[in-house]
Chains A and B, each alone.
Chain A
């Protein structure tokens, strides 16, 4: 179990960094985007280990990637997309899509249909997790802006200085 999780952790980290190399991720963000990918994949993997269904597990994975991106974008002052796009790569249902394709080619249309629908549902679940994290980040920035405004002088804060990511 420990060996297995170490393999999962390191491989998802390196896979994300490798993907980052050919989509031209800024150098200062490369390491953090790898961590974001590992975060998302480990959340999904542990959820699967605890026998959670794959749809909620993918939702949690997408949510984890989105939240990690939010924290990192605050830390490094670059848009959260830079961390999210590579971070989602390990979660993408590549193997199931391939299996669906092979089934289609060998004429097993019913099985292929079932598989294709599950690929679509998984994709939707990841996107939903990601959108929910966006929602959380919007609420967080609204809360922070309100708090800062009530604390300090209203003159030097026109809302533009706190840029939502």
Chain B
């Protein structure tokens, strides 16, 4: 296997891995990887992507390589950047070396919003969705929902750097927001505990992964759909356990 082909496969795997880590749909990951191989070799390749790993075999030789994916989230910036780079590569404005360097750099350092802004975002999302979902004009509960939802997200996010087990993050995040909701309503800061909790769990609820899982399944990426679906089901289970425990003991 020549060094050049090695590099093509490496770049292709790197692009695929970053996209899956950003929560892209599988068809888009496979399409991008296929474009890179096709442009670099003028030949096709066999690509297989799931949520936990990506595989590439080139038609021009008999090597297959695999890259494992251990952390997953939703990060639109990653998908957007990789797409932009692969587009530049296919229309010839950057070469393979440049593509590889830029992808490596992207993998290491990625622009993100500061933590406080993300926490505020989570709080606002919970607050606005509370009104939308319950279809009531429950203005009085809005500040409490904002606070509970921001704190739940903050706890889940901070635990993310300590533990690799998603269940723990989501469980403790939901416990936090549930406690704040229930205690707040008892103190008279809110009036309907159900409304507060519906809004406050929204940043943690995997609504998008569920829809994406169904979409992967409908498109025929059965393995990826099942994997994504099970991951989402586990998250729902964590939230349910937390809220159930609180309602049982408080």
A-to-B contact residues, CB < 8 Å:
7-8, 11-12, 14-15, 18-26, 29, 41, 78-79, 81-82, 85-86, 88-90, 92-95, 97-98, 101-102, 104-105, 123-124, 126-128, 130-131, 160-161, 163
A22 engages B122 (CB within 8 Å): yes
Query: Which of the residues A25, A94, A130, A161 comes within 8 Å of B207, measured between beta carbons?
Result: A94
* Interface residues of chain A: helix, strand, loop or mixed (majority): helix
Residues of B within 8 A of A97 (CB): 205, 236
One of B52-60, B163-171, B182-190, B196-204 at the interface: B196-204
Chain B proximity of A97: nearest CB distance (Å): 7
B137 engages A78 (CB within 8 Å): no
Chain B proximity of A37: nearest CB distance (Å): 10
A22-B118, A88-B208, A123-B211 known; A94 and B202 CB under 8 Å?
A: yes
Chain A proximity of B59: nearest CB distance (Å): 18
Provide the bound-state CA to CA distance between A25 and B208, in Å. Answer: 14
Provide the bound-state CA to CA distance between A127 and B74, in Å. Answer: 18
Apart from A18-B121, A26-B76, A105-B248, list 13 A-B contacts with CB within 8 A.
Answer: A18-B123, A22-B122, A25-B77, A26-B77, A81-B79, A92-B207, A97-B236, A102-B247, A105-B240, A123-B211, A131-B218, A131-B219, A160-B39
Judged by a CB distance under 8 angstroms, whether B71 is at the interface is: no
Query: Which of the residues B78, B122, B128, B243 comes within 8 Å of A14, measured between beta carbons?
Result: B128
B208 engages A92 (CB within 8 Å): yes
Within 8 A of A (CB), among B96-144: 110, 112-113, 117-125, 128-129, 131-134, 137
Residues of B within 8 A of A82 (CB): 76, 79-80
Residues of B within 8 A of A15 (CB): 124-125, 128-129, 132
B91 engages A160 (CB within 8 Å): yes
Provide the bound-state CA to CA distance between A16 and B134, in Å. Answer: 17
Provide the bound-state CA to CA distance between A29 and B76, in Å. Answer: 10
A22-B113, A22-B121, A98-B197 known; A85 and B77 CB under 8 Å?
A: no
Residues of A within 8 A of B202 (CB): 94
Q: Can you list 18 residue pairs at the A/B interface with Cβ under 8 Å?
A: A14-B128, A15-B124, A15-B125, A15-B129, A18-B128, A21-B117, A22-B125, A82-B80, A90-B129, A92-B211, A94-B198, A94-B201, A97-B236, A98-B197, A105-B240, A126-B211, A127-B215, A131-B219
